Structure 1
Amino acid sequence: MSTNNGRFRIELKEVKRNLWEERQFLGLLAGMLVFFGYYYYLTLDFSQPQTSFLPRIVLGLGITTVVLNILVIAFNDQIEEIRGSESKSVADELLEERASDDEYSVVSLLKETSWIIGYIATVYYVGFFTVTLIFVFLYGLTHFDEISPRSVAFALLVSVSLNAFLYFLFITIMNSGAILRVGRFI
Structure 2
Amino acid sequence: MDSFTLNKAAGAVLMVLILTMGVGIVSDIIFHPTIPGKPGYEIVLESSPDATSTVEAEPDVVPISERLIAASATDGANVAKKCTACHTFDDGGANRVGPALWDIVGRKPGGHEGFRYSSAMTAYGDENAEWTYESLDNFLAAPKKYINGTSMGFAGLRKPEDRANMIAYLREQSGAPKPLPAE
When the two structures are superposed, what TM-score results if normalisation uses the length of structure 1? 0.23
When the two structures are superposed, what TM-score results if normalisation uses the length of structure 2? 0.23
Which one scores higher on RCO, CA 8 angstroms, separation ≥ 6?
Answer: 2
Q: Which has the larger helix fraction?
A: 1
